Amino acid sequence: MAHTIKIDDDLKSRIKTLAGRKQRSEVWVMREALMQYAAREEARESFKNEAASSWTEYQQTGLHLTGEEVESWLDGWGSETEPELPECHE
């Protein structure tokens, strides 16, 4: 499926310069930019959905960890006595 997009002369010049530096075609640069944008936006949307789901679950159950509990757990990461994830509580 082919699409046409209109870009201004400044952006065209920037893409051409990047393509030359990377020894790639201008189309490759634009396709790469679009793929990275799509991946970043999909990840952002996934994060937002996960956060909304977590908030709904918290509202239904009241189960949570405090900031101090999470910070203490994270402080132990990578140590010989790395702690287990604390249990959620009300």
The residues pairing with 89 across neighbouring beta strands, listed in sequence order, are 64
Distance between CA 64 and CA 48 in Å, rounded?
18
Amino acid found at 65: L
Interval 40-88: pLDDT, tens: 999 999 999 999 999 999 999 999 999 999 999 999 999 989 999 999 9
| Confidence band, pLDDT 50/70/90 cuts, at residue 1 | confident
* Confidence (pTM): 0.72
Helix locations, 6-88, DSSP H: 9-22, 26-61, 67-75
Q: What are the domain boundaries of the chain?
A: 9-61
